[in-house]
Structure 1
Amino acid sequence: MAKTPLPPLTHEEIPYTGKLLAGVDEVGRGPLVGSVVAAAVILDPEKPISGLMDSKKLSDKKRQALALDIRQHSLAWALGEASPVEIDHLNILQASLLAMQRAIDALQPAAEYLLVDGKHLPKNLQQAALAVIQGDARHPAISAASILAKVHRDQQLLELHASYPEYGFDRHKGYPTPVHLAALKKLGPLPEHRRSFKPVAQCLAHPSTELAPNAPD
């Protein structure tokens, strides 16, 4: 069932009026392979960027163009990652929060207030923060973060595809599609696959069985 869209955040809902407000988002919770990638972005209120929205609703060409605008015109932006090994060790939620924390910590100048997509906040934040459900569709700074994270992670999967074209990473970006599951069953997991995710764990334990996809996050 599709989620009911929530309205944009209003100024009254954000208890901060300064310029160093960062939007934070992550991508890559659902795929079976690769890092989870987060971004933090402080937009420049004097250089608004039109067209910012949830990265999943944009074409690849539009995301690329917006990512360039964000990098050129924001006050600050940074990326953070958690590796497949960290995902397997921590779990995907905690790894996602770790990637967010790393992106936040890398911002220069540092943010004074954070708008974080989702229901959970990273631990040990030095700034006040607000968790925003469906935030990537409700505030431009979070939208910008989702775009940068998505573009960066997609590029990583294209590079992985160049090394392992038989897995089809250029098509599915690591998500558990029938093409990916078939390649996983035939060829086995790569070092970049997440061992804790059901289809990969199932493949390692029983290489000849049919693989069941993870439910998407």
Structure 2
Amino acid sequence: MKKSTPPDSPKLFDDLPLRPDFSIEDAARREGLWPIAGTDEAGRGPLAGPVVAAAVILDPNNIPAGLNDSKKLSLKQREKLFQEIIETAEVSIASSGPRLIDQRNILRASLDAMRRAVAGLVTPPALVLSDGRDVVPGITCHGRAVIKGDARSVSIAAASIVAKVTRDRMMVRAGIVYPVYGFEGHAGYGTAQHRGAIEGHGPCVLHRMSFRPLKKDGVVVE
């Protein structure tokens, strides 16, 4: 006899159509799990800047139209949806800076930011849906991982948009403080222009010293 998976076990929804909707949330509500928060992060890959996480509880009766994985949306679309999400949903944002990333590694720093974003919600969720294969650690409710969740769950898609827009705005401000790196143009990613600026000027406090090319042959370049 096949055993059913208990509701608080990590579930990897890897057989769903790649279009965000409310079906995962509806299924969880039928299990008695509500409210439901979606969480996602932005900025795992860049050489500089924080990783930013958002947790979002959508109003099922007022879901902004056009929610999708933030990477599939234009800047204009993201900005518009960001404002609609802020106005219609409950939102919490947290981040992990470069030093924490260096100390703990990017995965742990990302998950910690997601945990803090969830903890910052005014309404305690009964379930947290997270993008990827990792359930958010340290939460006091059920957690489920959703493979490619930002393309499948509107709650996670909303969180991905909030995290992306927030981080992009932070990096625009970083570009004003540290103009030689051009953060406003590449958001800290390892473009040729950014790598050239690091080579010419050295790193600043926003750079992740544990990331290549800042870390060469196991030695951190200060």
TM-score, normalising length: structure 1: 0.87
After superposition, what is the alpha-carbon deviation per residue over 1:77-136, rounded to whole angstroms, capped at 9, x for unaligned? 100111111100000000000000000000011111111001112222211111001100
Q: Percent of aligned pairs with the same residue?
A: 43
Q: Which amino acid aligns with 2:69?
A: D
Distance 1:206 1:103 in 2: 32
Matched, 1:70 2:81: no
Q: 8 Å contact 2:209–2:221 — kept in the other structure?
A: no
Aligned counterpart, 2:46:
31
- For residue 16 of structure 1, report the CA deviation from its aligned partner: 3.1
Distance 2:29 2:200 in 1: 53
Aligned counterpart, 1:211:
none
Structure 1 gap ranges (5+): 208-217
Change (3 A) 1:135 1:119: same
What number of residue pairs does the alignment pair up? 203
Matched, 1:162 2:162: no
Superposed, 1:63-212 pairs within 5 Å as 63-74=78-89, 76-202=90-216
Q: 8 Å contact 1:38–1:79 — kept in the other structure?
A: yes
After superposition, what is the alpha-carbon deviation per residue over 1:126-178, rounded to whole angstroms, capped at 9, x for unaligned? 11111001100101010000000000000110001011222111111100111
TM-score, normalising length: structure 2: 0.85
After superposition, what is the alpha-carbon deviation per residue over 1:17-66, rounded to whole angstroms, capped at 9, x for unaligned? 45411100001000011111000000001112101000011111111110
Distance 2:155 2:26 in 1: 15
Distance 1:159 1:32 in 2: 16
Change (3 A) 1:153 1:5: farther
| Cα RMSD, aligned residues only | 2.2
Q: 8 Å contact 2:136–2:143 — kept in the other structure?
A: no
